[in-house]
Chains A and B, each alone.
Chain A
Amino acid sequence: MWRDAVLVAGKDLRIEARSRVALWQVVPFAILVLVLVAFAIGPNESDLRHAAPGIFWIAVLFSTVLSIQRSVAVESGEGTRDGLRLSGIDPAGIFLGKAAAVGFQLLVLQIVLWAGVTFLFDVRVHIIWLAVTASLLATVGLACAGVLYGALSAGLRVRDTLLPLLVLPVLAPVLLAGSKAWQAALSTHAGTGAQWLRLLIPFAVIYLVIGVVLYGPLQEAA
């Protein structure tokens, strides 16, 4: 299973490295979200600083949808899914591999967004361990839940409109907990910020387990 996962993740990341869709479409889109939400809130610096964690996670969430759509699109070519199924690779391995590839892209994206938030909204992360832990846990959850829903909507003609409707409510707890944890990490004392990690941990674990168990049946349905 793990070897299969590494294979699939390597394949997806190689495709990304060559096509550069994530780099030239997803990352600029995420930065665009930062700017647009900032426009909506207005130029008041204290407002923006207060909203920065939320804006960061909104950008991450929307970009997750794009990354998932991309991750599904990679497999949507003629017969690609059948090829993947016929290759004898463990479905759980495919799930973990695709989730790992999406997760890696999301981590890179978050680093860029971190820089963006620091630059645009003049905020500084004071408690680095909290921000990093929250981001890592959130990434696992986002990637697993996202890939699962991606598989659910794969092969549908209405995929692109259906996926956001299905996946965004599911990802809402990550938005909530991530924003709260980052809010605490941006201030000088952790306060209740660490408590929100307790929401991110079960979220990541639940979707990881559900994905490993249910990806097989889902793949047959696609």
Chain B
Amino acid sequence: MTTLVPNDAVTTSASPAGPSVVRPRWLSVVGVLGVLTMIATVWLGLWITPPDQVQGNLARLLYIHPPIATVALYWAGGVAAAGSLLYLWPRTRSLFWDRLAAAAVEVGAVFSALTLITGSLWGRPVWGVWWTWDARLTSTALLLLLELGYMALRRVPADPAIRARRCAVAALLVAVDVPIVHFSVDWWQTLHQGGTILDPGFHLHVHGSMLWTLLLGFISFSLLFVWFLGVRYRIEVLQDEVGDQELEVSLSERWSETNAIGTLGSSTSPDGDRS
């Protein structure tokens, strides 16, 4: 791309202050901890823990499937619902909650998809099918579709305040599905098992090193969720800033092009492919 104006002139004129959100240190710490605990979970899960009595090596998938599902459902769903409620509540209304909810839905969508993928990888050898029309599977798939719908709605260009309000309502409607997924195993009692790790009387049903691995899995994925959430939040802020500056940048680009052409006295047309 040949430019008639030095590129830095354009960028400096458009963003004099630079991004207003710096990367907080604690977030990087959380990220490093998340990755380290993840490595530990993989190591414990694949090499240290014994195979299961009934399922053999397949049980190893269960060190990550329940933690991923927990993040997708409760952490992401909870943050999205809380953020949206706090945004709609006039006293706590701030774009912070809106962005946090949006970040939570998007991270939640990734984890919902991972829940379905890890679940079907396990279901194929154990249940004999990739997919079954079980209540929990179906409602989780619906959750993913609802989250995709939210993201589609979010991409529609609009004034930030209007978009925030609209998305907050949409997120609350998505959140309606969360308790349905949670209770689906009790309400319909189909193929997917009910709560296994803790029964309603809070008695543990997993033993020894397997329990520790599973617990580490929960911690690891929760840390990763916080990290992703923070990073995604930051992207959201930067995106909004870029959106604000976009018009300014393109205007100044056009102006400088015209000026440059004027001073050069060139008859050639400016590049058509400039972005």
Q: Which residues does A use to contact B, with CB under 8 Å?
A: 145, 148-149, 152-153, 156-158, 162, 165-166, 169-170, 172-173, 176, 206, 210, 214, 217-218, 220-222
Contacts and interface: CB of A to CB of B under 8 A. Distances in A.
B172 A217 contact: no
Q: What 7 pairs between A and B have smallest CB-CB spacing?
A: A221-B165, A169-B145, A166-B149, A221-B166, A221-B162, A165-B149, A169-B146
Chain B, interface residues (CB within 8 Å), range:
20 to 34
Nearest to A198: B187
Contacts of A148: 169, 173
Contacts of B165: 217-218, 220-221
Contact of B156 (A149, A158, A222): A158
Contacts of A173: 180
Contacts of B162: 221-222
Contacts of A152: 153, 166, 169-170
A220 to B, nearest CB: 7
A222 B166 CA distance: 8
27 contacts: A145-B173, A148-B169, A148-B173, A149-B173, A152-B153, A152-B169, A153-B153, A156-B156, A156-B158, A162-B149, A162-B153, A162-B156, A165-B148, A165-B149, A165-B152, A166-B149, A166-B170, A169-B142, A210-B172, A210-B173, A217-B169, A218-B165, A218-B166, A220-B165, A221-B166, A222-B162, A222-B166
Given A148-B173, A158-B156, A214-B172, A169 B166 contact: no
Interface string B65-99: 00000000000000000000000100000000000
Contacts of B169: 148, 152, 214, 217-218, 221
Interface of B: 88, 138, 142, 145-146, 148-149, 152-153, 156, 158, 162-163, 165-166, 168-170, 172-173, 176, 180
Contacts of A162: 149, 152-153, 156
Given A165-B148, A165-B152, A173-B180, 17 more contacts: A148-B173, A156-B158, A158-B156, A162-B149, A162-B153, A165-B149, A166-B152, A169-B145, A176-B138, A210-B173, A210-B176, A214-B172, A217-B168, A218-B166, A221-B163, A221-B166, A222-B162
Nearest to B174: A170
Given A217-B88, A218-B165, A169 B149 contact: yes
Nearest to A176: B138
Contacts of A220: 165
A218 B158 CA distance: 14
B112 to A, nearest CB: 12
The residue in B138, B148, B156, B166 that gathers the most chain A C-beta atoms within 10 A of its C-beta is B166
A156 B156 CA distance: 8
A214 B171 CA distance: 12
Nearest to A220: B165
Contacts of A217: 88, 165, 168-169
A196 B172 CA distance: 24
